[in-house]
Amino acid sequence: MSEFQGAAALAAACMATLCPNAAQAAPPIHDAVVAPAQQATRDDERVRILQDELAQEQIRFAEADRRHAQRLAQGDDRGAQEAEQARSRAAKDLAALKRELEAAQQQAEPPARPLLHQRAHPPPGDPTGAPRWWDVYAKRPAAAAGR
């Protein structure tokens, strides 16, 4: 047990020596929480940036496609192969950006409120004498049973 305490003390001393600002580096928890309005602004900015990147990548894909067709028309096999690789990279980047944009848009939208379900039983005091929610055996109230 004393070996464990000694090892723990040694580790703490090493951390204090090697990382003197480690305790100060972590922000307090109350600072890590962001106001909903600020988070909405950040989410909107993220979506806008992803849309800009998507537009730029679509241009790159179109240029690579044009370059590929041009190289094929010229009979430049090596140039066509390089253009095809660029086109393939651009297609993969487009797919990744579309996935990320979709995820960002879903995250930016407020969650839908769940629909309230219909009551299985009428409210208390119902003249039909339907069982209450706590009546697991669905027995009628004693006063209604004698009628």
Q: pLDDT tens digits, residue range 48-72?
A: 999 999 999 999 999 999 999 999 9
Q: How far apart are CA 119 and CA 19, in angstroms?
A: 59
Longest distance between any two alpha carbons in the chain, whole Å: 98
The two counts, helices (H) then strands (E), for the chain are 6, 0
pLDDT band of 122, cuts 50, 70, 90: low
Q: What is the pLDDT of residue 58?
A: 94
Q: pLDDT tens digits, residue range 66-106?
A: 999 999 999 999 999 999 999 999 999 999 999 999 998 88
Q: What is the pLDDT of residue 2?
A: 56
The whole-chain average pLDDT of the chain stands at 76
Q: What is the pLDDT of residue 55?
A: 95
Is the model more confident about 133 or about 94?
Answer: 94
Is the model more confident about 73 or about 145?
Answer: 73
Is the model more confident about 85 or about 33?
Answer: 85
Q: How far apart are CA 104 and CA 50, in angstroms?
A: 9
The model's pTM: 0.52
Q: What is the pLDDT of residue 74?
A: 92
Q: How far apart are CA 69 and CA 42, in angstroms?
A: 41
Q: What is the pLDDT of residue 141?
A: 60
Closest CA to 104 of 58, 65, 47, 53: 47
Six token digits for residue 96: 């990744």
Q: In the chain, what are the domain boundaries?
A: 35-106
